[in-house]
Structure 1
Amino acid sequence: MTAWWVLTSVGVLLGLLVQGRFSPAVLFGGWATGYLVLGVVSEQQWLSSFTNPALITLLVLMLVSLALERSPLLERFSGALLKGNESLASLRLMGVTAGLSAFLNNTAVVGSLLGVISRQRHIPASRLLIPLSFASVLGGVTTLIGTSTNLVVNSFVVNAGLPALGMFEFAAVGVPVALLCLMVLMFSARLLPQNGMKDEESAQPYFLEARVQPGAALVGRSIEQNRLRSLDGLFLLEIVRNDRLISPVAPDEILEANDVLVFTGEVKKVQALQPFSGLELFGNGVDRLLASNLVEVVVSNESELAKRTLQEVDFRTMFNAGVVGIRRGNKRLTGQLGKIPLRVGDSLLLAVGADFTQHRNLDRNFHLLGKMQRPKLSNRQSVLAFAGFGAVIAMAALNLLPLLNGLLLLLAGLLLSRMLTLSELRRRFPFELVVIIGSALTVAKAMDSSGAAQLVADGMRALFNGHGVFGAFAGVYLMTLLLTETVTNNAAAALAFPIGLSTAQAFGVDPMPFIMAVAFGASACFMVPFGYQTHLMVYSPGRYRMVDYIKTGLPVSLAYSAGVIALVPVVFPF
Structure 2
Amino acid sequence: MNLDMIIMVLIFVGTIFTLIKFQQKSGLVFGVAFVVTYLTNNISDQQVIDSFSNQGLLILVLLMTCSVAIEKTSLIRWITGKIEGRSYFVTWLKLFLSTAIGSAFLNNTAVVSTMISPVRNNATIPASKLLLPLSYAAILGGTLTLVGTSTNLIVNSMLTEAGHEGFQFFSFTLVGLFALVITSVAIYFVSTKLPTIKANKQDFQCYLLNAKVQEHSNLIGKSITDAGLRHLDSLFLVEISRQNRVISPISPNEQLKANDRLVFSGDVRQVTQIKQFDGIEIVVDSNSVSVDNMTEVVVRPDSDLINKTLKKADFRSKFNAAVIAFKRDGEALSGKLGEIKIRAGDYLVLVTGHDFSKRQNVKKNFITLSGVEPNHKLTGKKQSFAVGGFLVAILLAAVGVVSLFKALVVLFGLLMFTGCLSFQDIKQRLPYNIWLIVGSAIALSHGLGNTGVLSFVTSLISLELTLDNAFIFLVGLYFITLILTELVTNNAAAALMFPLAYSIPLFYGIEPTPFILSVAFAASSSFISPYGYQTNLMVFNAGHYKLMDFVKAGIPVSITFSTSVLLAIYVFYPIVKS
TM-score normalised to structure 2 length: 0.80
Within the alignment, does 1:484 sit opposite 2:471 as a pair? no
Number of the residue aligned with 2:232: none
After TM superposition, give the deviation of residue 292 of structure 1 in Å: 8.3
| Cα distance in 1 for residues equivalent to 2:7 and 2:338 | 43
CA distance 1:207–1:4, shift in 2 (3 Å): farther
Number of the residue aligned with 2:345: 345
| Cα distance in 1 for residues equivalent to 2:206 and 2:52 | 45
2:191 to 182, 189, 192: 189
CA distance 1:466–1:394, shift in 2 (3 Å): closer
Could you tell me whether the CA contact under 8 Å between 1:524 and 1:557 is conserved in 2?
A: yes
Number of the residue aligned with 1:317: 317
After TM superposition, give the deviation of residue 338 of structure 1 in Å: 3.1
The amino acid that maps onto 2:429 is R
2:119 to 117, 120, 123: 117
2:27 to 18, 25, 48: 25
The amino acid that maps onto 1:11 is V
Number of the residue aligned with 2:510: 509
Could you tell me whether the CA contact under 8 Å between 1:101 and 1:146 is conserved in 2?
A: yes
Number of the residue aligned with 2:404: 403
Number of the residue aligned with 2:332: 332
CA distance 1:268–1:498, shift in 2 (3 Å): closer
CA distance 1:116–1:459, shift in 2 (3 Å): farther
CA distance 1:68–1:509, shift in 2 (3 Å): same
CA distance 1:206–1:322, shift in 2 (3 Å): farther
Number of the residue aligned with 1:225: none
| Cα distance in 2 for residues equivalent to 1:19 and 1:56 | 29
CA deviation profile, 1:464-484 (whole Å, cap 9, x unmatched): 899821111111111111111
Gaps of 5+ in 2: 209-235, 238-264, 270-283
| Cα distance in 2 for residues equivalent to 1:138 and 1:458 | 36
Number of the residue aligned with 1:559: 560
Could you tell me whether the CA contact under 8 Å between 1:204 and 1:268 is conserved in 2?
A: no
Paired residue secondary structure (2:568): helix
CA distance 1:293–1:71, shift in 2 (3 Å): closer
The amino acid that maps onto 2:386 is A
**C-alpha RMSD of matched pairs (Å):** 3.0
CA deviation profile, 1:210-265 (whole Å, cap 9, x unmatched): xxxxxxxxxxxxxxxxxxxxxx99xxxxxxxxxxxxxxxxxxxxxxxxxxxxxxx9
Paired residue secondary structure (1:203): helix
| Cα distance in 2 for residues equivalent to 1:461 and 1:502 | 16
Paired residue secondary structure (2:203): coil
* 1:125-140 alignment, distance < 5 Å: 125-140=127-142
TM-score normalised to structure 1 length: 0.81
CA deviation profile, 1:165-193 (whole Å, cap 9, x unmatched): 10001111111111111121111111212
| Cα distance in 2 for residues equivalent to 1:154 and 1:294 | 39
Paired residue secondary structure (2:166): coil
Question: How many residue pairs were aligned?
Answer: 504
Number of the residue aligned with 1:472: 473
Could you tell me whether the CA contact under 8 Å between 1:115 and 1:368 is conserved in 2?
A: no
Number of the residue aligned with 1:204: 203
| Cα distance in 1 for residues equivalent to 2:496 and 2:408 | 28
| Cα distance in 2 for residues equivalent to 1:314 and 1:504 | 52
Deviating more after overlay: 345-354 vs 120-129? 345-354
| Cα distance in 1 for residues equivalent to 2:285 and 2:98 | 45
* 1:436-447 alignment, distance < 5 Å: 436-447=437-448
After TM superposition, give the deviation of residue 309 of structure 1 in Å: 3.8
CA distance 1:266–1:386, shift in 2 (3 Å): closer
| Cα distance in 1 for residues equivalent to 2:449 and 2:547 | 37
Number of the residue aligned with 1:495: 496
After TM superposition, give the deviation of residue 521 of structure 1 in Å: 1.0
Number of the residue aligned with 2:82: 80
CA distance 1:291–1:175, shift in 2 (3 Å): closer
Within the alignment, does 1:457 sit opposite 2:431 as a pair? no
Could you tell me whether the CA contact under 8 Å between 1:95 and 1:135 is conserved in 2?
A: yes
* 1:293-304 alignment, distance < 5 Å: 295-300=295-300, 304=304
The amino acid that maps onto 1:35 is T
Identity %: 34
Could you tell me whether the CA contact under 8 Å between 1:500 and 1:515 is conserved in 2?
A: yes
| Cα distance in 2 for residues equivalent to 1:336 and 1:471 | 55
Paired residue secondary structure (1:558): helix
CA deviation profile, 1:285-329 (whole Å, cap 9, x unmatched): 647279887653333567554555423442111333221232122
* 1:353-392 alignment, distance < 5 Å: 362=362, 365-369=365-369, 374-392=375-393
The amino acid that maps onto 1:342 is I
